[in-house]
Chain A
Amino acid sequence: MDIKLKKDKKRHPVLSWLSFILSISILATYAGIGLMSLPDMYGNRDSLKALLSGDIHNIPDFKYNMLYSMDVGVKSINDGKITNEEIERKKDLVENEVQNRNLNFYAIDTNSQKEYKPNGKDFGIKAGQKPNVTAYSYSIYFNGKMYTVTKNGKTFYHVSSLARAYFPNMVSLEKSLEKQLGLSEMTKGMRVFIGIKQPLHQYENAPPSNLYEMTKEIKIFRIIGSIAIGLFVFTAFMLVYAIIKREDRKRGKEKLTHITGKIFLEFKAAAAIFVSILLSFCISVGFNHVDSVTDILIIWFGILLVSWFYYLIILDLFYNRVEVFKHNIINCSLKKYRDFEAKLPFEKALLKRLTYYRLTQVGLILISLCLFVICLKGAIFFSPFLLASVIGVFYLAYRYKKKYSEDLADFAKLCAFIENASDEKSQTAISLSPQSLLRPTADSLVSIYEDAHRAAEESLKNERMKIELITNVSHDLKTPLTSIVSFVDLLSKEESLPEHVKDYIKVLASKSERLKQLIQDLFDLSKASSQTIEIQKETLDLVKLIKQVQGDLQDRIDASDLEFVYTLPSRAVYTQSDGNKLHRVLQNLVVNALKYSLKGSRVYVSLEEDDVMVEIIIKNTSAERIDFTEEEICGRFVRGDKNRSTEGTGLGLAIAKSYTQVCGGFMHIELDGDLFKVILRFPQLALSEDAEVKE
């Protein structure tokens, strides 16, 4: 059921559209024929009526025939008036019918007893009898006074004038006929009988029968007429169908325009020109001489075709709009070339394009030259082609240049995208046209960029989760630790405890303090290494910072037996960094040196600078033998002494390194024998004199 419906739906659009076209065409034809035959029909209402009714006896031709037969009979008897050529012809007409046994004729002049009897019989009229009319489908009998017209044995008219019998409604015609024939004068004292037999025949080898031809024509006319009426009714139905299925027709139109849309503009234009010529030809022929019905039909058919062609063109324009003009041979071949080009690698495509462009250009120029020569020789007919060719040369150059600059622009966009890929996070697309040669490259670049972006986001998310975990863990560690610290403190204040218990409590106190430091350091480190730490950069003086850290730790430095040697420039050295973090770095490094240096040795702190970078170097001599690598010492929980007897969390260097990195610097460690050397590098900020004064 469904399938059938679908099929029906598929068929309907075209059907509806076709029926619309056909019905309109046929109706137009009817209207055209009707209009053309209007003047004819105006005078021949009766004959048309008779034709439609199929009654031969009502056809004016038949009636004329009868009149003329009567004329012949009467004039044959009246001597001297038969010589007329026309009468001879009419006599033939009568005799032909007699020979075909379609007509019985008899006339007698009662005064002169002259007879005209082509049938060789008198039908009893000579004796004054009324003829037996039952054998005739149509008969006229004139008894000298009155005309009696009978049809199929029935008397129709019984009048004194023959013309009146025939044309009761047309007084003028009747009078002119009587005058022309003069019958009313001549038939006085005559008895005439004409009877038409039924059916009418045309015998072989017999002369042609007018009456028979007439019946045949009536038959043909009736057949044509009924076909025409049938066709008209059918057409009307089709029109109604087309109107009902308007929506289908619309789809049909769309389908059709879809098909016509595929035809190149040039072909359409050529067809339009051809059709226009045809139309003007048809019209001129139609106005000059129309010989036959077929001529009229052919011209009419031509006009119809042309009209429908224009209708199609208008439909095409209406539905396809600009596409109609875009879909031309030049555009399509260019598109084909583009498709071909798209399959080639970028540089090959550009080179190929250049080659083809040059070849085509040379070809076009040659053609132009040839045409120019031809035109010079006098063949002016070719000048439009020359013009087209010259325009082609310039147009091609324009197109090539346009495309070339477009490609360059795309290339520039691509480069800009790559340049900005790292800093601009929001950038996600390159706006290239879909036909661009660089489109696939751009697409894959964008996808790489997006992948990287997604991966970065993913890792950032992971880091955030990690920091969240660490925050929660450190919180959960700190809460019980709070109680431990508080109660250990309370215990340490108890007076009555034995000495060894007090000792234990001291251990507890120092270890819980270390635990606290450890948790904080761990938290800071994971924040720094996950890059979620907040950095507040400002312009600061590194020399000043080193001195401040030195001053801050002066007591511890003094307490140790180490000597600190500073090599610092006398002027300020600026950098853009977070002072709090940097302070922590330097503090960690100095404390580190304090912890692990060989007793009585020296610690060197120096600051060196070139135009762009600043280096802070801290060197000390390790107390223990250095049996670790740089990577190891910067790892988490690694300490200079493997047995971990000294104070500290083992996170100092790791924190220093992470903080240096988030502050925009680099830290690295060089190990040489017992020499432990930490180098911090920062980009130097070149400040103008004014700024320095301000600081």
Chain B
Amino acid sequence: MSDSEQTTILVVDDDRDIVRAISIYLKKEGFCVIHAYDGLEAMDILHTTPVHLILLDVMMPKLDGLSATMRIREKKNIPIIILSAKSEDTDKVLGLSMGADDYITKPFNPIELVARVKSQLRRYMNLGGVSYENTEKILTCGALRLNKECHELTAHGEPVHLTATETKIIELLLSHPGRVFPAEEIYERVWNEPSYSCENTVMVHIRRIREKIEINPREPEYLKVVWGIGYKIEKR
């Protein structure tokens, strides 16, 4: 927690109650929280105070969140999480391509928000630590890291307990990020048996893994079902 005490988070939203609620949650986790109620104010604070993470609303007076993201990205490398009531895929893609690191839709689950904040901070703070590890043994994808030797998976920095089958599945998918695996192939390669009516079995396993590694299993970030075709780990 000693790390967290110095960690400063800037929360920017024109709705003061939302800012208040978020700060309560974050303060509970031991973060130092600074408020801003519009984009320009946020920019001013960024100039004067060292900040480690920004939670940014999109629809704000004076300077909107997307423009603010672009301006911040011109100078700073800190994680930016966008908070928005716009839940369309296109909005998300737009926000992420503007330079945001994560996109949370309102109304959000407070626990999910805190988890995402922590995940971003961990990646930001420990960025330098990756290099000395043996990359051949380690499979990474975003916040997922799998050690092939000891079959340990960490998601968002925390170890995840997986069964042997689940580990095999995630290892298979992680070794080919972006590739879509049909259930038959997963079954044959994980169970080493000819596949017969395996769809249901594989799907149940996938869902279980999802619940363990995803922050929000209903909107998975990594382990995705390609409906009617197969399964894949999203390429990062």
**Chain A contact residues, CB within 8 Å of chain B:** 471, 474-475, 478-487, 489-490, 512, 516, 520, 523, 534, 538, 540-545, 547-552, 554-555, 577, 579-580, 582-583, 695
Indicate if the CB atoms of B85 and A475 lie closer than 8 Å.
yes
- CB-CB under 8 A from A516, the residues of chain B are 107
Point out the residue from A475, A478, A489, A579 that lies within 8 Å of B229, measured CB to CB: A579
Indicate if the CB atoms of A479 and B87 lie closer than 8 Å.
no
In this assembly, does B34 line the interface, its C-beta being within 8 Å of a C-beta of chain A?
no
Distance, CA A293 to CA B90, complexed state (A)? 104
- CB-CB under 8 A from B207, the residues of chain A are 551-552, 554-555
- CB-CB under 8 A from A483, the residues of chain B are 15, 17-18, 21
- CB-CB under 8 A from A538, the residues of chain B are 229
User: B39-47, B145-153, B161-169, B220-228: which one contacts chain A?
Assistant: B220-228
In the assembled complex, how far is the CB of residue B95 from the closest CB belonging to chain A, in whole angstroms?
14
Indicate if the CB atoms of A486 and B227 lie closer than 8 Å.
no
In this assembly, does B125 line the interface, its C-beta being within 8 Å of a C-beta of chain A?
no
- CB-CB under 8 A from A490, the residues of chain B are 21, 24-25, 110
- CB-CB under 8 A from A555, the residues of chain B are 207
Indicate if the CB atoms of A545 and B18 lie closer than 8 Å.
no
Indicate if the CB atoms of B229 and A540 lie closer than 8 Å.
yes
In the assembled complex, how far is the CB of residue B141 from the closest CB belonging to chain A, in whole angstroms?
21
Distance, CA A471 to CA B87, complexed state (A)? 10
- CB-CB under 8 A from A482, the residues of chain B are 15, 18, 21, 85, 106-108
In the assembled complex, how far is the CB of residue A684 from the closest CB belonging to chain B, in whole angstroms?
13
Given A482-B15, A483-B18, A580-B227, answer yes or no on A547-B200 (Cβ-Cβ < 8 Å).
Answer: yes
Distance, CA A478 to CA B89, complexed state (A)? 17
Indicate if the CB atoms of A548 and B228 lie closer than 8 Å.
yes
Indicate if the CB atoms of A695 and B85 lie closer than 8 Å.
no
In this assembly, does B175 line the interface, its C-beta being within 8 Å of a C-beta of chain A?
no
Given A548-B203, A552-B203, A554-B200, answer yes or no on A540-B227 (Cβ-Cβ < 8 Å).
Answer: yes
In the assembled complex, how far is the CB of residue B119 from the closest CB belonging to chain A, in whole angstroms?
19
Report the tally of A-B residue pairs with Cβ distances under 8 A: 111
Given A579-B227, A583-B227, answer yes or no on A551-B110 (Cβ-Cβ < 8 Å).
Answer: no
In the assembled complex, how far is the CB of residue B149 from the closest CB belonging to chain A, in whole angstroms?
31
Indicate if the CB atoms of B110 and A541 lie closer than 8 Å.
no
Given A486-B110, A540-B227, A545-B227, answer yes or no on A479-B15 (Cβ-Cβ < 8 Å).
Answer: yes
In this assembly, does B97 line the interface, its C-beta being within 8 Å of a C-beta of chain A?
no
- CB-CB under 8 A from A549, the residues of chain B are 227
Kindly list 17 other residue pairs between chains A and B, CB separation below 8 angstroms, not including A482-B18, A548-B199, A549-B227.
A481-B107, A483-B18, A483-B21, A485-B109, A485-B110, A489-B111, A544-B183, A544-B199, A548-B203, A551-B199, A551-B200, A551-B203, A552-B203, A554-B200, A579-B228, A582-B227, A583-B225
- CB-CB under 8 A from A579, the residues of chain B are 226-229
Distance, CA A548 to CA B199, complexed state (A)? 6
In this assembly, does B182 line the interface, its C-beta being within 8 Å of a C-beta of chain A?
yes
- CB-CB under 8 A from B110, the residues of chain A are 485-486, 489-490
Given A474-B85, A547-B203, A551-B203, answer yes or no on A479-B228 (Cβ-Cβ < 8 Å).
Answer: no
Given A483-B15, A523-B87, A538-B229, answer yes or no on A551-B201 (Cβ-Cβ < 8 Å).
Answer: yes
User: How big is chain B's contact interface, by range?
Assistant: 35 or more
Kindly identify, within residues 184 to 203 of chain B, every residue whose CB is under 8 Å from any CB belonging to chain A: 199-203
Given A583-B227, A695-B182, answer yes or no on A481-B199 (Cβ-Cβ < 8 Å).
Answer: no
Distance, CA A482 to CA B183, complexed state (A)? 38
Indicate if the CB atoms of A552 and B225 lie closer than 8 Å.
yes
The 5 closest A-B pairs by CB, nearest first: A551-B203, A540-B228, A579-B227, A547-B199, A486-B21
Indicate if the CB atoms of A548 and B18 lie closer than 8 Å.
no
Distance, CA A351 to CA B108, complexed state (A)? 76
Kindly identify, within residues 5 to 27 of chain B, every residue whose CB is under 8 Å from any CB belonging to chain A: 15, 17-18, 21-22, 24-25
- Per-residue interface assignment for chain B, residues 83 to 113, with 1 indicating a CB less than 8 Å from any chain A CB and 0 otherwise: 0011101100000000000000011111100
Kindly identify, within residues 113 to 149 of chain B, every residue whose CB is under 8 Å from any CB belonging to chain A: none
Given A486-B22, A487-B21, A490-B21, answer yes or no on A481-B106 (Cβ-Cβ < 8 Å).
Answer: yes
Distance, CA A484 to CA B17, complexed state (A)? 9
A-B contacts, 18 listed (Cβ < 8 Å)? A478-B85, A481-B106, A482-B15, A483-B15, A483-B18, A484-B107, A485-B108, A486-B18, A486-B21, A490-B24, A520-B87, A534-B90, A538-B229, A540-B228, A547-B183, A551-B206, A582-B228, A583-B228
In this assembly, does B1 line the interface, its C-beta being within 8 Å of a C-beta of chain A?
no
- Per-residue interface assignment for chain B, residues 200 to 212, with 1 indicating a CB less than 8 Å from any chain A CB and 0 otherwise: 1111101100000
- CB-CB under 8 A from B229, the residues of chain A are 538, 540-541, 544, 579, 695
In this assembly, does B172 line the interface, its C-beta being within 8 Å of a C-beta of chain A?
no
In this assembly, does B155 line the interface, its C-beta being within 8 Å of a C-beta of chain A?
no
Residue of B with least CB distance to A524: B87
- CB-CB under 8 A from A540, the residues of chain B are 227-229
Point out the residue from B18, B85, B204 that lies within 8 Å of A551, measured CB to CB: B204
In the assembled complex, how far is the CB of residue A548 from the closest CB belonging to chain B, in whole angstroms?
5
In the assembled complex, how far is the CB of residue A558 from the closest CB belonging to chain B, in whole angstroms?
10
Residue of B with least CB distance to A542: B228
Distance, CA A483 to CA B108, complexed state (A)? 9
- CB-CB under 8 A from A523, the residues of chain B are 87
In this assembly, does B59 line the interface, its C-beta being within 8 Å of a C-beta of chain A?
yes
Indicate if the CB atoms of A551 and B202 lie closer than 8 Å.
yes
- CB-CB under 8 A from A486, the residues of chain B are 18, 21-22, 25, 107, 110
In the assembled complex, how far is the CB of residue B129 from the closest CB belonging to chain A, in whole angstroms?
33
In the assembled complex, how far is the CB of residue B225 from the closest CB belonging to chain A, in whole angstroms?
6
Residue of B with least CB distance to A573: B228
- CB-CB under 8 A from A481, the residues of chain B are 106-107
Indicate if the CB atoms of B206 and A541 lie closer than 8 Å.
no
Distance, CA A543 to CA B207, complexed state (A)? 18
Distance, CA A515 to CA B133, complexed state (A)? 47
In the assembled complex, how far is the CB of residue B10 from the closest CB belonging to chain A, in whole angstroms?
18
Distance, CA A360 to CA B106, complexed state (A)? 84
Point out the residue from B86, B111, B228 that lies within 8 Å of A541, measured CB to CB: B228
Residue of A with least CB distance to B108: A482
Distance, CA A577 to CA B226, complexed state (A)? 12
In the assembled complex, how far is the CB of residue A664 from the closest CB belonging to chain B, in whole angstroms?
14
- CB-CB under 8 A from B202, the residues of chain A are 551
Distance, CA A318 to CA B86, complexed state (A)? 73
In the assembled complex, how far is the CB of residue B19 from the closest CB belonging to chain A, in whole angstroms?
10
- CB-CB under 8 A from A479, the residues of chain B are 15, 18, 85, 106
Residue of A with least CB distance to B201: A551
Distance, CA A487 to CA B24, complexed state (A)? 10
Point out the residue from A475, A487, A520, A580 that lies within 8 Å of B59, measured CB to CB: A475
In the assembled complex, how far is the CB of residue B228 from the closest CB belonging to chain A, in whole angstroms?
3
- CB-CB under 8 A from B230, the residues of chain A are 544
Distance, CA A475 to CA B21, complexed state (A)? 19
Distance, CA A550 to CA B197, complexed state (A)? 12
- CB-CB under 8 A from B228, the residues of chain A are 540-542, 544-545, 548, 577, 579, 582-583
Interface centre among B90, B110, B182, B206 (most CB of A within 10 A): B110
Distance, CA A479 to CA B18, complexed state (A)? 8
Residue of B with least CB distance to A574: B228
Distance, CA A516 to CA B108, complexed state (A)? 9
Distance, CA A489 to CA B109, complexed state (A)? 9
In the assembled complex, how far is the CB of residue A523 from the closest CB belonging to chain B, in whole angstroms?
7
Residue of B with least CB distance to A540: B228
- CB-CB under 8 A from A471, the residues of chain B are 86
Given A483-B21, A695-B229, answer yes or no on A550-B15 (Cβ-Cβ < 8 Å).
Answer: no
Distance, CA A542 to CA B202, complexed state (A)? 16
- CB-CB under 8 A from B107, the residues of chain A are 478, 481-482, 484-486, 512, 516
Distance, CA A475 to CA B89, complexed state (A)? 15
